[in-house]
Amino acid sequence: MIDDILKDAKIRMGKTADSLESELSRMRTGRAHPSLLESVKVDYYGAESPLSQVANVNIEDARMLTVTPWEQSMVAAVEKAIINSNLGLNPNTAGTVIRVPVPPMTEERRRDMVKMVRAETENTRVAIRNIRRDANGDLKELEKEKEISQDDLRKGEDGVQKLTDAAIKNIDAVLAKKEADLMEV
């Protein structure tokens, strides 16, 4: 029973950390990366579709993305979707290829991005602590119903705390890496 609770907490904490990494990968660092355009939705014959389903996104160099729609008729729609995405990107069309230059970020914008990253990371820490609270509550419920002893309760709580500490350490490492990426000129 205790092992099931610990396994569930570990899985949930892992998913929370993965979610943070996914969210932070979408934040612009000043370098071109295909994940910058993940949130862009294109009007594909009346249906809102992710850009990755209607075009191929590649990195040309450190500051340039290339978007190649699979259908030539979609070039204008893809370009319009990138412009309307509020990412601050200004695409240039050359035939069937759309080049998207990624402008360097200003110092002020970098600091704002670091604040956003820290806020997102703190939200993830809170989520990890909530998972810890839930797991400890489950353990206390088992002890209250006399399914486990007080010693088992303490061991279980120690296990949950170790999982929490490991998850927070992982999240802090992700934060440090993202901050370094953002502040790199």
Residue 65 shares a structural domain with residue 120: no
- CA angle, residues 98, 25, 30, in degrees to nearest 5: 60
Give residue 6's domain range: 2-26+106-183
CA separation, residue 83 to residues 38, 40, 76, 87, 101 (Å): 14, 9, 11, 8, 12
Average pLDDT, rounded, for the chain: 88
Q: Which two tokens stand for residue 62?
A: 């450190």
pTM exceeds 0.85, yes or no: no
Neighbours of 36 (CB within 10 A): 22
Tell me the per-residue pLDDT of 104-138, one tens digit each, with 9 for 90 and over: 778 887 888 889 899 999 999 999 999 999 999 99
Neighbours of 91 (CB within 10 A): 20
Domain limit, last residue, from 101, 128, 157: 101
12 — pLDDT class (breaks 50, 70, 90): very high
Domain count, the chain: 2
Residue 64 has pLDDT above 90, yes or no: no
CATH code for position 148: 1.10.132.20
Domain limit, last residue, from 86, 101, 116: 101
